[in-house]
Structures are given as C-alpha cells and as structure tokens.
Amino acid sequence: AEVVIVRDEEEAGELAASAIADLLRARADAVLGLATGSTPLSTYRALARRIDAEGISVAGVRGFALDEYVGLPAGHPEGYRQVITREVVEPLGLTPELIRVPNGDPATIRTAAEDYEAAIDAAGGVDLQVLGIGRTGHIGFNEPGSSLASRTRVKTLTERTRVDNARFFDSIEDVPMHCITQGIGTILRARHLVLLAFGDAKAEAIAAAVEGPVSASQPGSAIQLHPHATVIVDEAAAARLE
C-alpha cells in the first residue's frame, strides 16, 4: 500500500476528499464505498466543502455503506442507515435512493446479504472505498478470523468492538451483538481503497495491516492483496510502522 503520513485529521480529510472529488468529476455516476464511525468524518466534511466550492454535480453518485447493526429499531439514530443519511447523504447533497446500507432487519436478514452483493454487482462494483480500522484490526465489521475471501454476511461483534462503539449508545447493553457487513472479499473488489486511521490506539492495527503477515487474524492486512490501496495516517497511528 501507499502510506501517506499527515499532520492531523483535517489534512487527512482534505487528501481523501481530493481523491474522491477527482473521481466524482470524472464520473457523474461514480460508486462510493462509505464507512461510518469517527474516522471518515473529516473526509466527508472536506468533501462537502469541495462539492460546494467547485460545483461538482453529485445527483447521480451511487453509494454502498460497509455495514449495519442487526436488530436496532428502525430509525434508531445510531443505526448506520441514519448515520449515513445524517453525515453523508445530507451534507453532500447525494440522492437518497442511490445510497444503500445493508438491511439489518432480523425479519429479512436471511436474504439481505445476498441482495446487497447483487446490488453492488449491478452497480458495476465500487470505484473508491473509504475505510477505517478497528483496534481489533477489523475493516468493515470483519473481525479477526474473517475469511479473506468473505462476502457480505452476518457476523458477531467482538466484545472489544462493542466496548469501543458503546460511546454512541446509552450503555454497552444497547450495542447490538450482531452486524451485517461487506466481506473482506467484497471490499477487495473495490477499485481503490482509502484506509484512514488516527491516534495511537490504531498504531498496532495499522502496523499489522501495512507490514504484518497477510492473515485472517488481522483483517486489515488484506489491503496488501489490493493493487491500489492508499493508507492515510497521522503520526500517532504511524508510530509502529518500520
């Protein structure tokens, strides 16, 4: 992977946003892969500014979120459908019908994964996938032990990830046990991966992803199998790189 070390999250966001803006200018119906969580927020903010300032037309842009919790009540503010609407679709002015999030409704979960893969295929695949990484090394919600060839499916969240994400909920009990996530194989089919990480809590996961052996026990290491992966990190997240 190409590793870029930047001063701070704002500079990382500018850099990632400029790669996305180039894509959107080249392709009016570009397909974006969208991450949630804290990491991509500076990217989405910078992208919203550029779309505004440069008058980039985004009405035809399509998007696929990486993952969703299973079993949150419909419309829950921390469900990734709501998060994507609030943090991406609205500020960027995207067309809501063109932005998909895996369906975490238990009633339809048996077919949701296959439907999602089929929708990504029908869109012609993802042009640029934004990624964060968990302290466990997960990308999407592919926790350690996920097959490097995996496709969208239901997974169990690790305790560590539930603890990390409890900050978005009233208590850890409210964090769902399960999620539906694009697989590592799904992510690897995107044409460009942009992985962002900030802070020393991510330093080990970044070193394992960029320099460690490629292994299902470090899902982020799958980026080494990708011909066009860009890793944008601050000094703290880069601290364990050789």
Q: Write down the H helix ranges in 9-60.
A: 9-26, 41-54
- Per CB under 6 A, the list member of 16, 47, 50, 67 interacting with ligand F6R is 67
Residue number, 56 or 187, with CB nearest to ligand F6R: 187
In whole angstroms, the minimum distance from the beta carbon of 26 to ligand F6R comes to: 25
Among the listed residues 217, 196, 195, the one whose alpha carbon sits nearest the alpha carbon of residue 208: 217
* Binders in 160-219 for ligand F6R, by CB under 6 A: none
E strand or H helix that includes residue 232: strand 229-234
Q: How far apart are CA 161 and CA 173, in angstroms?
A: 13
Residue 139 is a binding residue for ligand F6R (CB under 6 A): yes
> Do 120 and 113 contact (CB within 8 A), yes or no?
no
As measured in angstroms, the least distance from the Cβ of 83 to ligand F6R is: 9
φ/ψ (deg, to 5) at 3? -110, 130
Closest-by-Cβ residue to ligand F6R is 132
* DSSP H helix total and E strand total for the chain: 8, 10
Query: Interaction with ligand F6R in 78-137: which residues (CB under 6 A)?
Result: 132-134
Q: How far is the CB of 110 from ligand F6R (least distance, A)?
A: 22
Question: Is residue 69 within the footprint of ligand F6R (CB under 6 A)?
Answer: no
| Residues involved in catalysis | 67, 138, 143
User: How many residues lie near ligand F6R (CB under 6 A)?
Assistant: 14
Q: Least separation, in Å, of the C-beta of 15 and ligand F6R?
A: 16
Here the tokens at position 85 are: 């609407």
* Minimum CB–partner distance for residue 165 and ligand F6R (Å): 7
**Of 81, 138, 153, 155, the one binding ligand F6R by CB under 6 A:** 138
The total of other beta-carbon atoms located within 10 Å of residue 147's CB is: 14
Binder of ligand F6R out of 140, 176, 212, 219 (CB under 6 A): 140
Contact 35, 64 (CB under 8 A): no
Q: Which of residues 9-38 bind ligand F6R (CB under 6 A)?
A: 35-38
Straight-line distance from the first to the last Cα atom of the chain, in angstroms, rounded to the nearest whole number: 14
Backbone conformation region of residue 137, classed left if phi is above 0, alpha if psi is from -120 to 50, else beta: left
Q: Name the site residues for ligand F6R (rule: CB under 6 A).
A: 35-39, 66-67, 132-134, 138-141
